[in-house]
Structure formats: C-alpha cells, structure tokens
Amino acid sequence: MSMNTQGRPTDVGEAETSYRPKTFTGNRGLDMEEPLIFEFGHFDTMGVDLDEPEDFAPELGSHARAAELELPGLAEPEAMRHYVRLSRNNYAIDSGLYPLGSCTMKHNPRLNEKMARLPGFGDIHPLQPLSTVQGAVELIDDLARWLMVSTGTSAVAMSPKAGAHGELCGMMAIKAAHKAADRNPTMVLVPESAHGTNPATAALLGYKVVSIDAKDDGTVDLASVKATIAEHAGNVAAIMLTNPNTCGLFEREIIEIADAVHAADAYFYCDGANFNAIVGKARPGDLGVDAMHINLHKTFSTPHGGGGPGSGPVVLSERLAPFAPLPFIRKTDDGPVLVETEADTIEGEQPFGRMTAFHGQMGMFVRALAYMMSHGSDGLKQASEDAVLNANYVRVGLQDLMSLPFGERPCMHEVLFDDSFLKDTGVTTLDFAKAMIDEGYHPMTMYFPLVVHGAMLIEPTESESRAALDLFIATMRDLVMSAQRKETDRFSGAPYLAPRRRLDETTAARKPVLKWTPPAPAEVTPAAAE
C-alpha cells in the first residue's frame, strides 16, 4: 500500500533539502518515521481471536452499522511498536527541557501517579453512595484546606475542570454577589496583557470588556484603572488581572489596584495561572484578591495539558464565600459533608448553581495533594523560589544577546524576550523557534503576550537543574550568533531533523483532515510495465 500524503508538506527545493546541520547539542531531532496505523494494518485480520457470537436480536434499528468497521488489524508486537514509535515522536517533559512560557511544564513526580492509582481513588465512580467514598471526600476537604491556607482565602470551589472553567466560576460568583446586593454593573476591566480567556469569560457572561493600558515597564497602569473606574462610576463589576502577569512580572501596585476596585463596590478576580511563582511567598487574599482559580495541573504537579483532564479550583474571599457553587463540602462536628443540592443548604449558603455534574477531577486532586504533602510548606516555598531563580538565570545568561522589552529588571517564573535582536538578520521569530527543534528543544511560547512584538516567553520551571539550564542557554546563544552571522540556511527551512518538516500550520488548523481515505491505486503506464 502506498504512503498517504494527506496533511504532509509538498517537496521543497534541492537547495533547502541539501542543508543538513551539525547541531550544537549533538541531538538529531526525533528519529522515527511512523505511518498511520491505517497505512500498514490489514483490514482482513486482527491480533486476537474472537469467537463468533451466538444468534441475537439487534436493538439498534436503523442505527445499526451497514458496512464493515474497517479497523486495521495488527499483531501484538506491531501494535506495541507503533505506539512506542509515536510516543518517541512526541516531545515531552520526560524527554527534555520544555521552555513554554505561561504553561508550567514541570516534572510530574511518579509518586503522585502511584497515589492517584490507589484503590479507593483510581477506581471509584461518581455515582457511588457517599458512605462508600468517605476517604475521597476527606481528601478533597484536606486539599481544599491546603488551598485556602496557601492563598489566604475563606472558601474554595473544587469542581471547575481547568483554568478557563475556573475563571467562569469566579466571575459567576461575582455576578451572583452583585445580584444579591441588588446591583447590576455591566463592565469588567481587563489589562491588555491578559490571557485571552479573561475577556472571553467576561463577554460570555454578558459583560462589556474595558481594556486597561500597561505602563512602559510591562505592569498594569494604576492611574488608568482609577480613571476608568471614575469614568464608569457605579458600573464596574470587577477587574480580571493576572499576578504575576503574562510578561513574567509581579504587579507591584496590586494592593492599590485592589483598594481602588473595592472602593467602587467591585470585585478583584485574579487569574491564577502563574500562582506557581509565589506559592509560600505571597497570599493572594492578603493582596486584596476576591476570587482566583488555581491550575492544579500546573502549579501542583502535572504538566499543562497533562495528557488528560485538568483541575481549576477557585478560592473565594469572605465576601464571595456564600456564593460558591454546588457541590461543596461543609465542615461539621461529624466530619466533612458533601452538599449536592440547594435543598441541602443552610442559612448563609447561597450557591449560584452548579458548574459541572460531579465534584471534580479526582485524579488531579490526589496528584496535587501528594505533591503538597511530599514537599510541605517549606518545600512549596522553595519550589517557587527555584522557579524564579531558574527564570532569572536564563534571563542573565541571554540578556547580552537577546532583547528584553522591559529592561533588565528581575522577572518572576518566566522571562520575556522580543525579536528585535533578529532585526536585519533575515531570520524571523518563527524561523528561530523552528531551529530550536533541530537542537532537540520544544520552542518557547511565541507571539504572546500580544503587547510585545515577536514575543518569546520562556519558563524553565523549578524542575530543571543548573546543567540543563546551562546547555539550553548555550544552545540559544549559538542560535542567536548564527542568526546574527546571517546563516539563514540554518533557519529558513527548519526543522530539518524532525519527522515532519515545516508545515502550513494555518491551513492545518482551518482545514484539518480528520478522516483517512485510502489513496487511489497508482496507474501503471506501458513503459513502466516493460
């Protein structure tokens, strides 16, 4: 069977394909070429023997399949090799440093995985009677306590599944609080450097989004916040602000911003995507934050994305605590009680509703608590310090060659460069990032945040050793000097050593090929037959 070419790049010129760099690191990219399983599997065989079913009366009616399923059959070694080879074609935190900024690709300790698979955690069902899952309820309650203590807040909603879901939860609690006070403000302030989900969340809830300018140093302009609040007096519901912000900087005027927002009877929602930079160092509740989501799958272990579900609990201030959504856990003298319906609420509890069918993602709860307990409060604080130290180590190691848009001030857990160091080299930001793949590194976050032209956002995380950082810095320096020597062949067609060359990513995103179809039979010409 011929190889399928759907979604693959067209041939490139000889001048481009002839360039085969000797890489600085000695890495040779990802080395295995693996076809689609449909391209080498056999539709008339399978790797296991199944008995013919006895006669039965199908109950699918018109929904019954009319044609063969056409799943390829593989022998067991073939199936194993296929998926192992595919795994080798995927860059992962277990294979190398993952410098994506604002994504927190930290090591996931295997202890956490072992705990998440314990009987009673890994095999429970959300519809089990509560009497059979008291251990799980207690674990959720214990994790909630850790989160409230570390953030200096009064309540936490555990059910949101990830960051954006948590944003929605926090803003719905804010909307419920305004409604309970017989207020209906219509505007939400969002800094121009915010994550894109912030304005999207506010708009989804019917709010008008008002952008807040950044100062030249990359932080939110307090004067702009105050002026906007004054301009829309009585009509501001909240501010949605990330701290540390997406430029990798701590908002030094955060308390003054919170005071201005609270003076206007509005609430402070903090995007907690970067909480891993300040755990054990600063408590958001002490800074005036009313609601903040926490990416358990980032801050407390599993890498962003994680190959599975995430978890985005939302901590709430005393003012917002009554509006936490269902289900939630109530502390009683007899232990924690899971409150699942409004009929079970008591005076003072005003849940705004329910975010999701069940309490949350149990596997992530277990991983996060295992991470917290194994580190302890002092270990969590050190992890934050090491994350900031590593990012600044990268900053200092590259600042003489790469350009820092906000000067050489210390950063937090991630360092932001722009592309001005590539000016007049003939190498673009995308070219530079693609060349990193040939050196064995996943590219950093590019073109984000949007407030910086050609942004390159690097977050090494606390997981990386000094040796790993030294090699990364040396590799980046080699790439920069190569670009400034105008060795454009190294960049213009990169990656050269990956299983796939540079793809048309825009077309792939807008016109994805989601179904494999067999290629047309090749025509045999008389000349070829001879």
The answer to whether residues 199 and 327 belong to one domain is yes
Mean pLDDT within 452-480: 96
- Cβ atoms < 10 Å from Cβ of 134: 13
Backbone angles phi, psi at 39, to 5 degrees: -80, -20
Helix (H) or strand (E) holding 135: helix 134-151
pLDDT > 70? residue 18? no
As a 3-state breakdown, the chain gives helix, strand, coil percent values, each rounded to 5, of 40, 10, 50
Whether 222 and 297 map to the same domain: the answer is: yes
209: enclosing H helix or E strand: strand 208-212
**For residue 255, what pLDDT is reported?**
98
Q: State the pTM of this model.
A: 0.88
Res. 226: pLDDT tops 90: yes
Q: How far apart are CA 503 and CA 488, in angstroms?
A: 18
Query: What are the tokens at 313?
Result: 């609990």
Identify the residue whose tokens are 């915010």.
194
By three-state DSSP, how is residue 446 classified? strand
Instruction: Flag whether 395 is in a domain.
Output: yes
- In 249-303, which ranges are continuous DSSP H helix? 254-263, 296-299
Amino acid at 98: Y
Specify whether 285 is located in the same domain as 172.
Answer: yes
Other Cβ atoms less than 10 A from the Cβ of 195: the count is: 23
- Whether residues 324 and 464 share a domain: the answer is no
Q: Is 346 within a domain? A: yes
Asked if 334 and 386 sit in the same domain, the reply is no
pLDDT of residue 205: 97
The domain in which residue 253 lies consists of 153-360
- Whether 298 has a pLDDT exceeding 90, the answer reads no
pLDDT top residue among 43 and 451 = 451
Flag whether 385 is in a domain: yes
CATH of residue 241's domain is: 3.40.640.10
Count CA atoms closer than 13 A to 414's CA, side-chain side: 30
Q: Is residue 38 part of a domain?
A: no
Q: Is residue 523, in this structure, part of any structural domain at all? A: no
In the predicted model, is pLDDT for residue 14 greater than 50? Answer: no
Instruction: Based on the fold, state whether residues 289 and 315 are members of the same structural domain.
Output: yes
SS3 329: strand
pLDDT at 275 over 90: yes
End-to-end CA gap in the chain = 21
Instruction: Tell which residue, 352, 209, 364, has the closest CA to residue 291.
Output: 352
> Helix or strand or coil: residue 79?
helix
- What does residue 87 show for φ and ψ, rounded to 5 degrees? -65, -30
Question: CB of 150 within 8 A of CB of 280?
Answer: yes
Single out the residue in 360, 391, 422 at which a domain terminates: 360
CA distance linking residue 151 with residue 270, whole number of Å: 11
- Residues 227, 245: Cα–Cα separation, whole Å: 21
**What residue type is assigned to position 185 of the chain?**
P
Q: How far is CA 274 from the centre of its chain?
A: 11
Contacts of 306 (CB under 8 A, 6+ apart): 108, 297
pLDDT over threshold 60, residue 9: no
Distance, CA of 225 to CA of 255 (rounded, Å): 12
Task: Specify the CATH number for the domain of residue 381.
Answer: 3.90.1150.10
Query: How far apart, in whole angstroms, are the C-alpha atoms of residue 417 and residue 202?
Result: 29
Domain count, the chain: 2
CA R_g for the chain: 27
Residues 347 and 430 in one domain: no
Among 53-62, 73-82, 148-157, top mean pLDDT goes to 148-157
CA–CA distance from 368 to each of 52, 91, 164, 364, 469 (Å)?
46, 24, 19, 6, 26
pLDDT band at residue 210, thresholds of 50, 70 and 90?
very high
Please give the structure tokens belonging to residue 59: 């109950």
Secondary structure of residue 354 in the 3-state scheme: strand
Bridge-based pairing of strands 291-293 and 314-316 is antiparallel
Distances (CA, A) of 135 to 132, 146, 260, 359: 8, 17, 43, 14
325 and 406: one domain? no
Mean pLDDT, the chain, as a whole number?
90
Residues 346 and 468 in one domain: no
Q: Are residues 201 and 293 in the same domain?
A: yes
- What local confidence, expressed as pLDDT, does residue 3 receive? 41
Residue 6 lies in a domain: no
Question: Is it the case that residue 95 has pLDDT exceeding 70?
Answer: yes
Q: How far is 475 from 22, CA to CA, in rounded Å?
A: 13
Between CA 144 and CA 147 the distance in angstroms is 5
The reply to whether 107 falls in a domain is: no
CA distance 243 to 223: 18
In a domain, 409, yes or no: yes
Tokens 């609601």 appear where? 291
pLDDT given for residue 289 in this prediction: 98
Closest by alpha carbon to 358, among 326, 336, 324?
Answer: 326
Whether residues 376 and 356 fall in one domain? no
| Tokens matching residue 34 | 């693996």
The β-bridge partners of 336 are 331
DSSP secondary structure string for all residues of 97-112: ---BTTS------HHH
| Residues paired with residue 414 on neighbouring β-strands, in sequence order | none
pLDDT in tens, 350-405: 999 999 988 888 999 999 999 999 999 999 999 999 999 999 999 999 999 999 99
Of 328, 296, 291, 325, nearest in space to 311 by CA? 296
Residue recorded with tokens 């990656």: 495
Q: Which of 334, 360, 386 is the last residue of a domain?
A: 360
Residues 6+ apart with CB under 8 A from 68: 43
Q: How many CB atoms lie within 10 A of CB 431?
A: 20
Q: Which pLDDT band, with edges at 50, 70 and 90, does 16 fall under?
A: very low
Please tell me whether residues 241 and 176 are part of one structural domain. Answer: yes
